[in-house]
Amino acid sequence: MSWNRNHLLDIQSLTAEEIVTVLDTARAFKAVGERAIKKVPALRGKTVVNLFVEPSTRTRISFELAAQRLTADVINFSAEASSLKKGETLKDTARNLEALNADIIVMRHSASGAPHFLARFLRASVVNAGDGAHEHPTQALLDTFTVREKKGKIAGLNVTILGDILYSRVARSNIWALTKLGARVTLCGPATLVPKVFEQMGCRVTYNVEEAIEGADIINLLRIQHERQRKTMFPSIGEYTSLFGLTKARLARTKPEALIMHPGPINRGVEIDSEIADSARSVILDQVTNGLAVRMAVLFLINGGKGPQEVAA
């Protein structure tokens, strides 16, 4: 057992042992979700604030449900309807939330490092729910949880991440988690979105999709994030699909036991053929279920991690 952190800010600073602790804890919480009463009193009396400065539906709902299943009180705070629109700084917003005795602040922000900034001055625990193109730690944890659950291990597996890597916090967090746990990671996509510099993170980079998915145990597809791209990074969606989309013809050349993952939302017919998304090879909906368990585990561990300091004080 190793967890003594007040915050979950990124995967980069976690040890392999800490990642495994989250995955093991999530296994216990997944079982809770399968019961008639899907709720435990672990965070009774605690207040969790979802501070989503960048819009999100699925991650926010997942965190909200995770907190509720731990019996925490949850406040949802979105940028559109908040004082951030009136010119309040992020720091002041966070301080106000803390003044309401928030115990855990789950934050999504379009600026990389925003949760790290909050964590420096808040007493409350901070969980990064995605910061710019930097990291999305709970997504990587739920992805590795799903891989381990389906394949029984992570070390030694070939994982291919296909799509928009450059602007993807999901890709960065996954690369950190997978390499720390001993998987071999291959990145593939348009050259403009998969710079060679990623080889420095210990990945193989290729621009040939057939080569990338041949021999893969896991193929993780990423959505093209038009909202994050400053300019057009490839000629057309049609060309992207024909060069990098996961079609039935391409899937036929992969290992029969290779699994298809996608963090959602999926664009059917763009990065993934619609039939593949619904096939037995796809674990996309398992990822959603596991995301809830992983987020419960993170909230549980973060809260507990506050202990020693409090006792010492």
Amino acid in position 30:
K
Residue 16 interacts with another protein (CB under 8 A)? no
Which member of 156, 235, 269, 307 binds another protein (CB under 8 A)?
307
Residue 304 binds another protein, judged by CB under 8 A: yes
Question: How far is CA 19 from its chain centroid?
Answer: 13
Q: Does 123 bind another protein (CB under 8 A)?
A: no
Q: Which of 15, 17, 31, 89 binds another protein (CB under 8 A)?
A: 31
Least Cβ distance, residue 307 to another protein (angstroms): 4
Minimum distance from CB of 290 to another protein (Å)? 14
Nearer to another protein, 42 or 288 (CB): 42
Provide the minimum distance between the beta carbon of 306 and another protein in the complex, in angstroms, as a whole number: 7
What one-character DSSP code corresponds to residue 156?
T
Footprint (CB under 8 A) of another protein, residues 53-112: 70
* Range list of β-strands (E), 87-227: 104-109, 125-131, 158-162, 184-188, 204-206, 218-221
CA–CA gap between residue 29 and residue 48 (Å, rounded): 18
Show Cβ contacts of residue 261 under 8 Å, excluding neighbours closer than 6 positions. 143, 146, 147, 218, 219, 220, 221, 282, 283, 284, 287
CA distances from 178 to 60, 143, 152, 162, 265 (A): 24, 9, 14, 15, 22
Minimum CB distance to another protein smaller for 105 or for 193: 105
> What is the contact surface with another protein in residues (CB under 8 A)?
1, 3-4, 21, 24-25, 27-32, 35-37, 39-43, 46, 70, 297, 300-301, 303-308, 310-311
